Amino acid sequence: MTTHRRKAGTRTPAETAASLAKSAAVRSGPSVGGREARRWLAEQRRRTVMDVRQIPLDRLTGWHTDPATGDLVHASGRFFAIAGLDVQRPGTPVPSWQQPVIEQPEVGVLGILVREFDGVLHCLMQAKAEPGNCNRVQLSPTVQATRSNYTRVHEGASVPYLEFFRRPSRHRVLADVRQSEQGSWFHGKRNRNMVVQVDEDVAVLDGFRWFTLREIHELFAVDDAVNMDTRTVLSCLPYVGPRLPEVLGTGRDPFTSALLRSCSGLEGGRHGMTEILSWITDERTRTVNEARRVPLKEVAHWQRRDGRITHASGLFFNVIGVSVTADGREVAAWSQPLLEPCDEGVAAFLAKPVDGVLHVLVHARAEPGFTDVVELGPTVQCTPSNYAVLPPAARPPFLDEVLHAEAGRVRFDAVHSEEGGRLYHARNRYVVVETPEDFEPDHCGYRWLTLAQLSRLLRHSNYVNVQARSLVACLYSMTA
Amino acid sequence: MTTHRRKAGTRTPAETAASLAKSAAVRSGPSVGGREARRWLAEQRRRTVMDVRQIPLDRLTGWHTDPATGDLVHASGRFFAIAGLDVQRPGTPVPSWQQPVIEQPEVGVLGILVREFDGVLHCLMQAKAEPGNCNRVQLSPTVQATRSNYTRVHEGASVPYLEFFRRPSRHRVLADVRQSEQGSWFHGKRNRNMVVQVDEDVAVLDGFRWFTLREIHELFAVDDAVNMDTRTVLSCLPYVGPRLPEVLGTGRDPFTSALLRSCSGLEGGRHGMTEILSWITDERTRTVNEARRVPLKEVAHWQRRDGRITHASGLFFNVIGVSVTADGREVAAWSQPLLEPCDEGVAAFLAKPVDGVLHVLVHARAEPGFTDVVELGPTVQCTPSNYAVLPPAARPPFLDEVLHAEAGRVRFDAVHSEEGGRLYHARNRYVVVETPEDFEPDHCGYRWLTLAQLSRLLRHSNYVNVQARSLVACLYSMTA
């Protein structure tokens, strides 16, 4: 039955946005506030046992090196593989290169279950341990499931709460969209970002807790507390809307006021939506970004030695092996490869008010793993130390504006972790720097967008990359 | 300079929609109306010299058969190729097959230039001859250019008016979106559908003429008059909007009234947009639609004999060669392969009012050539005679409802041609059949959508397939 009538209890978009805003503003309710949330997360961290040890890649259990290609693959043929990628980008400072890449073509589920208590929306969040996390446990969505997870390839325990996301049309869906992950490290990976609202009682299992948006938002200021999957799912919420200022007020300072106006106006902004979509079409048509799978053993300048894969320069990233012993996960012990970046990255928006409405400067970025050539990324997204071996022309525009911004212009600054199931200690400094209103750079490939415009794009796949989505979630966290 | 301020003369979406509605309603102006438009097209047809002769594939000039793969390729390595495709679709009535396919990964431009005369928007249309057209000349967009065209691979004359579409950000863009073509015949092909508005005088070359939307709309009732590229570009226009009834009235009969309400309401409808997007995400996640290039000479059940490629059953389509002599085109004589369907197809919407708003029943279709698994197609899209050799379970739902609909319920019925540059005499009967309001089929993979909702999806790539886009344009043609 797919052609049923509209479900009872359906909300208009404005009602949904108002309900989300109320959850971001609330100071009372069954959950007591930011301090209590931090205490709960710290307690979960203490109680979680996960031991992660680096081991050589050739000692991973269940994984082997394909003799024909040199690719690292799992015995089941599932999960993911470490393969090689050849990238052609003619006419750019680095016109071609080869690299290892994480190949995971399956679409997984990142789902947050929400429910109202006393009229306030709460999110069911999980304190989840991942082998690549620098602090073991971070705040995670209700469900993080690969397709292998939910088809039970690993024969472990079933994923709790997954049933709410398998048949979303039975519930009230607030967001449901496939989004990309790091296009420099993953080839064609997409996860389904979902937020599903229920009215019924839901049993809260050990390691889970209901959070208001306000509580989650307060944790954004803490380093390494809110994991990447939570950030990307929250960025896909229909949080913006004309009723936001009714609930959240007009802002305690000019920056917050401009931010709130940026979140509340569905039209308006420097460019209209038709113009923005045309610009994206143009960038996607004119950019050549060809990525082709090649055998890992043929990838130039990368070597497998001492049980790990590294670049000849010692830069970029390594592929390492880890052996994991855990309690309370689907399986109690396993080993796997992880991608370990060699240094911390930066992801930053330059932001400024235009006629009192905050705009962020987005960059039309080509990353080799993207499925549709170009996505909108932060103004700056890079690992600064990598540029030691690259031509000077490759140095990203605006990097110095971000790294040397005067303290009074830095509106957001926190270090957050990337996905801990495939990446090892991958961290980015997320920064929002306010520029004067007359700052008008004339670089190709950049545009000023409002948050309402980014939010409209985020209803669809593949417009906004994962680092920009994290920054959108960071900005949402500053609205209350 | 890409971060310039908003252009002078920018219109709001509502103003643009009102201007389009006015062009659809107008009965006067420099162009005199439907009868005059038909006379002009007939005159152009008489004046056009194009001689098309079938020749064996091995006698095509500039084309050869790759000895390793059997693929038909052009000597330049450009234009397009005829290759093989292996399709896997487990769990469906036809779980796998192989077929020849047109491989044309470049993004071409289909562009209509528009300009206001006496406050009424006009489209610069072309009477264009294509070798595959059954009647030589049809009404075409201002520009139809492959990338090979505009990079001048064929060393022919340059494409007139192309400069307006190369730098769209200099003009007022009404639509600019890459859309798919027939996923059963093309592998990953996308064209950029563009509508660009100018204020300046534009010289009208021989074979071109300014048309109001009303004149084009009247030609939709004539078989084989409005070519596929025109239909798809018009479907991408932001035609719907709340001011449509102000300009076009409320409709002369209940069907037209429901159609106008379907075009005017940006919210409302059986399902909300979030629910529709979630449904599409779900279909795309759960459907397996794997298409892989294989050498043409290894494609099972297809044979190359007597200078053409045919299926053993004599059904589906043939690949044939043609030799063309033309006047007034980029080059005066050439030869090329074309794909010739063996029979006429049907593309139909079942439509019904829901609370006075017309809804059409769309089908989430997987076609092998799609770049993102599933797009929304018509209720019925098939070549009925092909089902002679396929299992009964493969017979499309609702086909009999369309073929045997009582005359009083058939609201639109015309035969239109598909792309004449790659396809030979490819024709579909486009039909809209009104069903009673209590018609509630419970088939999986179908949903009732309003035209306003389809129009919102059409701002983005790969949501609505080319046959459904033609039907949307047919429905727009019935609004005035």
Contact: A447, B267; criterion CB under 8 Å? no
Contact: A3, B443; criterion CB under 8 Å? yes
Q: By CA distance, what is B173's nearest residue in A?
A: A275
Cα–Cα distance for residue pair B124/B143, rounded to 1 Å: 9
More confident residue, B305 or B13: B305
Q: What is the ipTM of this complex?
A: 0.93
Cα–Cα distance for residue pair A332/B471, rounded to 1 Å: 56
CA-CA-CA-CA torsion for B418, B422, B426, B431, nearest 10 degrees? -20
Segment among A161-175, B238-252, B407-421, B433-447 with least mean pLDDT: B238-252
What six digits make up the tokens of B331? Answer: 């080059």
Segment among A39-48, A157-166, A350-359, A430-439 with least mean pLDDT: A157-166
Mean pLDDT across the stretch B74-97? 93
Chain A / chain B CB contacts < 8 angstroms? 121
| Residue A37 forms contact with B (CB below 8 Å) | no
Residue B33 has pLDDT above 70, yes or no: no
Contact: A6, B271; criterion CB under 8 Å? yes
Residues 266-285 of chain A whose Cβ lies under 8 A from any Cβ of chain B: 267, 270-275, 277-279, 281-282, 284-285
Residue A434, judged by CB atoms within 10 A of its CB (0-12, 13-18, 19+), counts as buried
**pLDDT tier, A32 (very low <50, low <70, confident <90, very high otherwise):** low
Question: Which pLDDT does position A151 carry in this prediction?
Answer: 57
| Residue A293 forms contact with B (CB below 8 Å) | no
Q: By CA distance, what is A440's nearest residue in B?
A: B3
Residue B92 has pLDDT above 80, yes or no: yes
What six digits make up the tokens of A288? Answer: 């050549």
Question: Which pLDDT does position B8 carry in this prediction?
Answer: 42
Question: Which pLDDT does position A157 carry in this prediction?
Answer: 59
Segment among A6-15, A275-284, B403-412 with least mean pLDDT: A6-15
**pLDDT tier, B468 (very low <50, low <70, confident <90, very high otherwise):** very high
Measured over all CA atoms, what is the biggest interatomic distance in chain A, rounded to whole angstroms? 63
Residues 430-459 of chain B whose Cβ lies under 8 A from any Cβ of chain A: 440-448, 459
Question: Which pLDDT does position A3 carry in this prediction?
Answer: 37
Percent residues over pLDDT 90 in chain A: 77
Contact: A274, B192; criterion CB under 8 Å? no
| φ, ψ dihedrals at A421, nearest 5° | -90, -20
Question: Which pLDDT does position B105 carry in this prediction?
Answer: 81
List of domains in chain B: 13-49+105-238 (3.90.79.40), 256-290+342-476 (3.90.79.40)
Q: By CA distance, what is B237's nearest residue in A?
A: A274
Select the residue of A270, A443, A460 nearest B460 (Cβ to Cβ).
A460
Question: Which pLDDT does position A240 carry in this prediction?
Answer: 87
Question: Which pLDDT does position B4 carry in this prediction?
Answer: 38
Q: What is the pLDDT of residues B278-324, one digit of tens each?
A: 999 999 998 988 999 999 999 999 999 999 999 999 999 999 999 99
Q: How many angstroms separate the Cα of B193 from the Cα of each of A251, B196, B325, B454, B477? A: 42, 10, 28, 16, 18
Cα–Cα distance for residue pair A358/A344, rounded to 1 Å: 28
**A-chain residues near B270 (CB < 8 A):** 5-6
**pLDDT tier, A5 (very low <50, low <70, confident <90, very high otherwise):** very low
Cα–Cα distance for residue pair A284/B474, rounded to 1 Å: 29
Residue A186 has pLDDT above 90, yes or no: yes
Mean pLDDT across chain B, nearest whole number?
91
Mean pLDDT across the stretch A109-125? 95
∠ CA A352-A358-A363, nearest 5°, is 70
Residues 175-194 of chain A whose Cβ lies under 8 A from any Cβ of chain B: 175-178, 192
Residues 59-98 of chain B whose Cβ lies under 8 A from any Cβ of chain A: none
Select the residue of B281, B447, B460 nearest A178 (Cβ to Cβ).
B281
Residues 184-243 of chain A whose Cβ lies under 8 A from any Cβ of chain B: 192, 238
Segment among A464-473, B46-55, B382-391, B403-412 with least mean pLDDT: B382-391
Alpha carbon of B348: minimum distance to chain A alpha carbons (Å) = 18
Cα–Cα distance for residue pair B328/B182, rounded to 1 Å: 28
Find out whether B446 is annotated in a ligand binding site.
Answer: no
Name the nearest CA neighbour of B466 among B358, B330, B327, B370: B370
Q: What is the pLDDT of residues B231-276, one digit of tens each?
A: 999 999 999 887 787 888 888 899 999 999 999 875 579 999 999 9
Question: Which pLDDT does position B28 carry in this prediction?
Answer: 58
Within B242-381, where are the H helices? 244-248, 254-264, 273-286
Question: Which pLDDT does position B7 carry in this prediction?
Answer: 47
Mean pLDDT across the stretch B463-479? 97
Q: By CA distance, what is B461's nearest residue in A?
A: A281
Question: Which pLDDT does position A8 carry in this prediction?
Answer: 43
Strand pairing category for B317-326 and B50-55: antiparallel
| φ, ψ dihedrals at A234, nearest 5° | -65, -35
Q: By CA distance, what is B194's nearest residue in A?
A: A278
Contact: A3, B459; criterion CB under 8 Å? no
Name the nearest CA neighbour of A80 among A151, A169, A237, A186: A186
Alpha carbon of A408: minimum distance to chain B alpha carbons (Å) = 25
Cα–Cα distance for residue pair B213/B120, rounded to 1 Å: 10
Q: Which residues of A are annotated as a binding site for dTDP-4-dehydro-6-deoxy-alpha-D-glucose?
A: 63, 146-150, 184, 229, 302, 365, 381-383, 386-387, 419-422
Question: Which pLDDT does position B421 carry in this prediction?
Answer: 95
Segment among A30-34, A109-113, A248-252, B397-401 with least mean pLDDT: A30-34
Residue A39 has pLDDT above 50, yes or no: yes
Q: Which of A2, A289, A447 is the best residue to mutate to test the B interface, defined by the most B CB atoms within 10 Å of its own CB?
A: A2
| Residue A3 forms contact with B (CB below 8 Å) | yes
Mean pLDDT across the stretch A68-85? 93
Mean pLDDT across chain A, nearest whole number?
91
| Residue A429 forms contact with B (CB below 8 Å) | no
Mean pLDDT across the stretch B338-350? 98
Per the CB < 8 A criterion, the answer to whether B114 and B174 are in contact is: yes
**The total number of residues written for chain B in this structure:** 480
Q: By CA distance, what is A361's nearest residue in B?
A: B3
User: DSSP string covering B38-101, please?
Assistant: HHHHHHHHHH--EEEEEE-GGG-TTEEE-TTT--EEETTS-S-EEEEEEEE-TTSSS-EEEEEE
Segment among A61-70, A235-244, B318-327 with least mean pLDDT: A235-244
Residues 107-146 of chain A whose Cβ lies under 8 A from any Cβ of chain B: 107
| Residue B10 forms contact with A (CB below 8 Å) | yes
Q: Taking the CA atoms of A31, A33, A34 and A35 in sequence, report the sign of the dihedral they define.
A: negative
Segment among B24-38, B138-152, B391-405 with least mean pLDDT: B24-38
Q: What is the pLDDT of residues B121-176, one digit of tens each?
A: 999 999 999 999 999 999 999 999 987 665 554 455 589 999 999 888 889 999 99
**A-chain residues near B178 (CB < 8 A):** 281, 284-285
Question: Which pLDDT does position B250 carry in this prediction?
Answer: 82
Q: How far is CA B123 from the centre of its chain?
A: 18
Q: What is the pLDDT of residues B432-453, one digit of tens each?
A: 999 999 999 999 999 999 999 9
Per-position b or e across B205-223, b if 16+ CB within 10 A of its CB:
eebbbbbbbbbbbbbbebe
Alpha carbon of B280: minimum distance to chain A alpha carbons (Å) = 9
Q: By CA distance, what is A105's nearest residue in B?
A: B285
Contact: B447, A273; criterion CB under 8 Å? no
